[in-house]
Amino acid sequence: MSAPTIIPSVRALKQFVGKSLGASSWVTVSQEQINAFADATGDHQWIHVDVERARRESPFKGTIAHGYLTLSLAPSLLPEIFRVEGARLGVNYGIEKMRLPAPVPAGARVRVLAELKDVRDMPGGGARATFGLVFEVEGGAKPACVADAIYVYYP
């Protein structure tokens, strides 16, 4: 992982459209984290939390992270990739086109790659930015999660 890409202002976002912003560090998704996510969301499906049953019955031969857990890593990992200077506020506007092509096994390491896909002007000098996110599993052939995340930045 290298230093984050610095976007010098909200207005400057448009200069980065179509460019890769970089990749985050690798982080381990532990069984404890999966269990905590299950507790937080109420999703205790055995494929996520029952280690012994998942070893016996799952096509993945073990527990896997919730897809939304994988996606929820974005807010902690994206600051490693880029920073928008001069923004007094940045808010999550939503997710588009999320897909989960491959599982994240408990204990696997993941990272996210980001590309700025689109920027739209907002009233008051703000901007709505769409980032293409690709979550990779270390050693995996396919991404674990692909999504367009939309953030609104206010100067």
86 Cβ partners below 8 Å, 6+ apart? 8, 9, 10, 155
Whether the per-residue pLDDT at 1 is higher than 70: the answer is no
pLDDT tens figures, 58-77: 999 999 999 999 999 999 99
Confidence category of residue 2, pLDDT binned at 50, 70, 90: confident
pLDDT tens figures, 83-103: 999 999 999 999 999 999 999
Going by DSSP bridges, is the β-strand pair 82-84/5-7 parallel, antiparallel, or unpaired? parallel
Contact (Cβ atoms closer than 8 angstroms) between residue 6 and residue 83:
yes
Residue found by looking up tokens 């096509």 in the block: 59
* Residue-averaged pLDDT of the chain: 96
User: Which pLDDT score, from 0 to 100, does residue 9 have?
Assistant: 95
Residue 93 CA to residue 58 CA, distance in Å, equals 35
Q: Which of 105, 114, 115 lies closest to 138 in space, CA to CA?
A: 105
CATH architecture type of domain 6-154: Roll (3.10)
User: Which pLDDT score, from 0 to 100, does residue 135 have?
Assistant: 98
Whether the per-residue pLDDT at 51 is higher than 90: the answer is yes
- Please state the pTM of the whole predicted model: 0.94
Residue 18, SS3 per DSSP: coil
Region 43-57 average pLDDT? 98
Sequence ranges of the domains in the chain:
6-154
Q: Which of 68, 87, 66, 64 lies closest to 149 in space, CA to CA?
A: 68
